């Protein structure tokens, strides 16, 4: 069975690949300015830019699992690989594991979180330029979170760990952004219910998904598989999303719905 290794540009200046698992390979140009690839470890693929390093032929002599087909305007890659049909898939370090392992649960939660933030962005007022830019940057950092999860500390090479290391300063950046929004918000004296308009409500949904993803990441940190900075980022991100939801409601002129105790 053919095994394709496509690595993301955000983990290195050049797409790296484990050459020992490939028999032959070639560089295929893309005519499109950007191309997003779905990976077997979740939809964590990022644009690889102008060229992609792909497997030309499987060791058994069959066709490559990631095929190129000539279409009008250039080469286009098929999105499926068939390598995960038996219920196993690969981490970035090349190890094959069952899709039921906690790493893939964490990756799925992070992917879901990224999608939830994307939906929230679509429903936010387009005049909230700063908030929209922050959320877009966070979506990119969630790709980095996924890369860290897919590169276990105990079994990955030094080179891969260096490429997958979570960027510094991002927790502090979230704190600064939280503080800036909080300055405009009324004091929080009661529990509030998720509400405040479509954009704010979807940010609350994203916050809930973030907390679930964080629990999986914390477990992996406890198993010495993921660096602690990633769990700190996820913890702060849930605070950010809560604050951002309140901020979006404020800017939309919506009242926060206060929790009412049964009397």
pTM: 0.73
By the 8 A CB rule, do 88 and 97 touch? yes
Per DSSP, what are the bridge partners of residue 77?
68
Residue bearing the bigger pLDDT, 14 or 104: 104
Residues 6+ apart with CB under 8 A from 214: 231, 234, 235, 237, 238
pLDDT of 119 strictly over 90: yes
% of residues, the chain, pLDDT over 70: 71
pLDDT of 63 strictly over 90: no
If pLDDT is split at 50, 70 and 90, which confidence band does 74 have? low
Query: Taking residues 233-252, what's their average pLDDT?
Result: 99
Q: Where are the alpha helices (DSSP H) in 68-197?
A: 102-123, 129-149, 158-164, 170-182
CATH code of 96-258, in short, is 1.20.1200.10
CA atoms within a 13 Å half-sphere pointing along the CA-CB vector of 83: 21
Rounded Cα–Cα distance for residues 247 and 47 (Å): 31
pLDDT of 69 strictly over 50: no
Return the minimum-mean-pLDDT range out of 23-32, 68-77, 147-156, 165-174: 23-32
* DSSP class per residue in 108-124: HHHHHHHHHHHHHHHHS
pLDDT digits (tens, 9 = 90+) for 173-201: 999 999 999 999 999 999 999 999 999 99
What is the location of CATH 1.20.1200.10 in the chain? 96-258
Number of CB atoms found within 10 A of residue 257's CB: 14
By the 8 A CB rule, do 30 and 75 touch? yes
Q: Which pLDDT score is estimated for 223?
A: 96
Q: Which pLDDT score is estimated for 193?
A: 97
pLDDT of 11 strictly over 90: no
Tokens (6 digits) for 130: 């700063």
Q: What totals of helices (H) and strands (E) does the chain contain, helices first? A: 6, 8
Q: Which pLDDT score is estimated for 75?
A: 67
Q: Which pLDDT score is estimated for 94?
A: 87
pLDDT digits (tens, 9 = 90+) for 76-112: 778 888 989 999 998 988 889 999 999 999 999 999 9
């Amino acid at each position: 069975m053919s095994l394709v290794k496509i690595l993301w540009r955000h983990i290195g200046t050049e797409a790296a690949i484990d050459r020992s698992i490939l028999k032959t390979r070639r560089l295929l140009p893309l005519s499109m300015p950007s191309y997003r690839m779905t990976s077997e470890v979740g939809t964590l693929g990022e644009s690889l830019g102008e060229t992609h390093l792909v497997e030309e032929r499987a060791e058994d002599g069959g066709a490559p699992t990631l095929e190129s087909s000539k279409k009008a305007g250039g080469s286009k890659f098929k999105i499926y690989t068939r390598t995960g049909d038996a219920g196993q898939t690969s981490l970035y370090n090349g190890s094959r594991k069952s899709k039921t392992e906690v790493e893939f649960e964490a990756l799925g939660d992070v992917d879901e979180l990224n999608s939830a933030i994307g939906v929230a962005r679509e429903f936010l007022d387009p005049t909230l330029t700063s908030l929209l830019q922050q959320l877009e940057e966070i979506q990119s950092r969630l790709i980095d979170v996924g890369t860290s999860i897919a590169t276990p500390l105990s079994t990955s090479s030094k080179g891969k760990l260096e490429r997958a290391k979570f960027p510094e300063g991002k927790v502090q950046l979230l704190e600064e952004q939280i503080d800036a929004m909080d300055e405009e918000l009324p004091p929080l004296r009661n529990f509030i219910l998720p509400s405040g308009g479509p954009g704010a409500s979807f940010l609350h949904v994203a916050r809930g998904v973030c907390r679930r993803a964080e629990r999986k990441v914390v477990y992996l940190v406890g198993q010495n598989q993921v660096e602690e900075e990633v769990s700190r980022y996820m913890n702060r991100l849930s605070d950010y999303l809560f604050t951002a939801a309140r901020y979006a409601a404020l800017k939309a002129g919506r009242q926060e719905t206060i929790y009412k105790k049964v009397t």
